[in-house]
Amino acid sequence: MPKISFVMPEKNRGDRIGKTIQTIIDQTEKDFELIIVDDHSDPSDKTEEIVKTFNDKRIRFIHMPEDLPKGIATARNFGNQFAESSIIAVADSDDLFKPKRAELTIKAFKKTNCDVFFAKNDIYDEVKKEFIPPMEDFHSFNVSMLKKRNYIAHSSSAYKRHLAYEFPYNSFFKKAEDYDLFTRLAVAGKKFYFCDEIVYTYIIHNENISRGLRLVNYNDLIHLNRGWIKKDRNIVIKGAFGENK
């Protein structure tokens, strides 16, 4: 059984996924698996061919069944079913991972017995050709901040495999499936651990600008806020959310 399972949904990423895969292969921790889920890519897309060129038994390429609805939340849930490790690491197909991404994640789960891991990321604007500093500086898991906005970088996160079945991604969300997941996990009192290190680079490029992947619409926010409203504020904060040491 691998120590960690990266689950990566993708659609029409033939032009980018090769670099992303290479950053996972270059991890300092070599005992991993990478599950790539194709979410109904166009016939002209070359992602599968690119994946095969790596010729790595740790990498599996899986097509979403035609009878399953399209969407990143469904693709994540489908991919999670194939994970063999007790730790599932989120990976998006256009991000670039730092060499210790897997190593730091595994160590945190062993040391803290957390349910959810997350860390920092840096940002590179491919359009402007420049790095962008983080919007804010934080050093622990912050419930109050999470209630206001999703400050957790999704591709920095990982969670125990059983949570993928108890708290599957909600296909209702087209752009904020991660925020919904973190909200439900927090309300349920799951233990979050923050690692104060940068574990990946988020790439801003023309495609994700046009898709507005970071936006959450008004109806999404209402749906998310219901999760907080249902729980007494004191109960939520007294859950397993204290500052991480």
CATH of the domain at 95: 3.90.550.10
Q: pLDDT tier at 171 (50, 70, 90 boundaries)?
A: confident
- State the Cα–Cα distance between residues 160 and 134, nearest whole angstrom: 27
pLDDT, tens only, 95-116: 999 999 999 999 999 999 999 9
Domain total in the chain: 1
Higher pLDDT, 237 or 77: 77
To the nearest 10°, report the CA torsion of 76, 81, 40, 45: 90
Higher pLDDT, 209 or 167: 167
What pLDDT is attached to residue 234? 36
What pLDDT is attached to residue 139? 76
Let me know: does 10 contact 47? Beta carbons within 8 Å.
yes
Task: State the chain's mean pLDDT as an integer.
Answer: 86
Let me know: does 9 contact 76? Beta carbons within 8 Å.
yes
Residue 242, domain member (yes or no): no
Residue 189, domain member (yes or no): yes
**Mean per-residue pLDDT, 143-164:** 92
Residue 123 in this model has a pLDDT that exceeds 90? yes
Residue 212, domain member (yes or no): yes
What pLDDT is attached to residue 230? 52
Residue 244, domain member (yes or no): no
Domain that holds residue 68: 4-237
Residue 104, domain member (yes or no): yes
Let me know: does 204 contact 155? Beta carbons within 8 Å.
no
What pLDDT is attached to residue 150? 86
Q: pLDDT tier at 242 (50, 70, 90 boundaries)?
A: very low
Residue 245, domain member (yes or no): no
Burial class (CB in 10 A: 0-12, 13-18, 19+), 211: exposed
Which residue, chain included where needed, has tokens 């999470």?
A: 146
Let me know: does 201 contact 121? Beta carbons within 8 Å.
yes
Let me know: does 32 contact 57? Beta carbons within 8 Å.
no
What pLDDT is attached to residue 235? 32
Cα→Cα distances 207→34, 49, 109, 152, 203, Å? 24, 21, 34, 22, 10
Q: pLDDT tier at 28 (50, 70, 90 boundaries)?
A: very high
pLDDT, tens only, 203-227: 988 766 444 444 444 455 545 555 5
